[in-house]
A and B are shown apart, each in its own frame.
Chain A
Amino acid sequence: QVQLVQSGAEVKKPGSSVKVSCKASGGTFSSYAFSWVRQAPGQGLEWMGRIIPILDIANYAQKFQGRVTITADKSTNTAYMELSSLRSEDTAIYYCAGDSLAARLFDYWGQGTLVTVSS
């Protein structure tokens, strides 16, 4: 059973970048894939992308292609999501979510990280 702990809240200026981390414990890191899902205020859940650490392969939702980079560090059991060219619409809670590779079923979730984009 893996536990996911995310980094703390961030306040960013428009045009800048943010990098959020998600540290996994209690399971074998390479047995999982990690997705990033966000929820903007008053909006629903939006999948951004996913990485399979054992293959070091990431794929992204078309909406975020070119603006998001998802990476994983197997030495520290940590996944990262970096979002660039931030705008106010990127203000949201960002969740990391783990699945056991067989299917994108999100059994495990981090606590969420609030990213606020404001000038």
Chain B
Amino acid sequence: DIVMTQSPDSLAVSLGERATINCRSSQSVLYSSNNKNYLAWYQHKPRQPPKLLIYWASTRESGVPDRFSGSGSGTDFTLTISSLQAEDVAVYYCQQYYSTTAFGPGTKVEIK
């Protein structure tokens, strides 16, 4: 099974500053036949279901603000919030969907 890890566990960022979350998979999630990384990012706020933000490692879901961006390939990935807004306070999860599926442990983002 592919195991997902994230770092840091939590981070506090000032409004308007950049937040960076890292995700690593225990094996590559890059499918060579289509050159796609089977990696997604979700935002989860209290008392709401999770929301898909990014898929194929770097494609933003429709309606997701462009301050959210994803990068990386193979086993190492990053979610960046370029200018943190108050409404971005949440837990962020990476998910691999290369082999069945699994979520990372989550990164809590707070305002400093």
Say yes or no: B52 contacts A44, CB within 8 Å. Answer: no
- A1 vs B1: C-alpha distance when bound (angstroms): 32
Tell me if A55 counts as interface (CB < 8 A to partner B): no
Say yes or no: A106 contacts B100, CB within 8 Å. Answer: no
Chain B residues near A54: list those with CB within 8 A: none
Tell me if A61 counts as interface (CB < 8 A to partner B): yes
Chain B residues near A106: list those with CB within 8 A: 42, 50, 52, 95
Among B49, B100, B103, B106, point to the contact of A110 (Cβ < 8 A).
B49
Interface of chain A residues 63 through 119 with chain B (CB within 8 A): 95, 97, 103-107, 109-112
Chain A residues near B104: list those with CB within 8 A: 44
Chain A residues near B44: list those with CB within 8 A: 45
**Number of contacting residues on A, CB 8 A?**
21
Tell me if B38 counts as interface (CB < 8 A to partner A): yes
Tell me if A10 counts as interface (CB < 8 A to partner B): no
- A95 vs B101: C-alpha distance when bound (angstroms): 15
Say yes or no: B105 contacts A44, CB within 8 Å. Answer: yes
Chain B residues near A44: list those with CB within 8 A: 91, 93, 103-106
Nearest 7 interchain pairs by C-beta: A109-B49, A104-B97, A44-B106, A45-B103, A104-B101, A44-B105, A105-B55
Chain A contact residues, CB within 8 Å of chain B: 35, 37, 44-47, 50, 59, 61-62, 95, 97, 103-107, 109-112
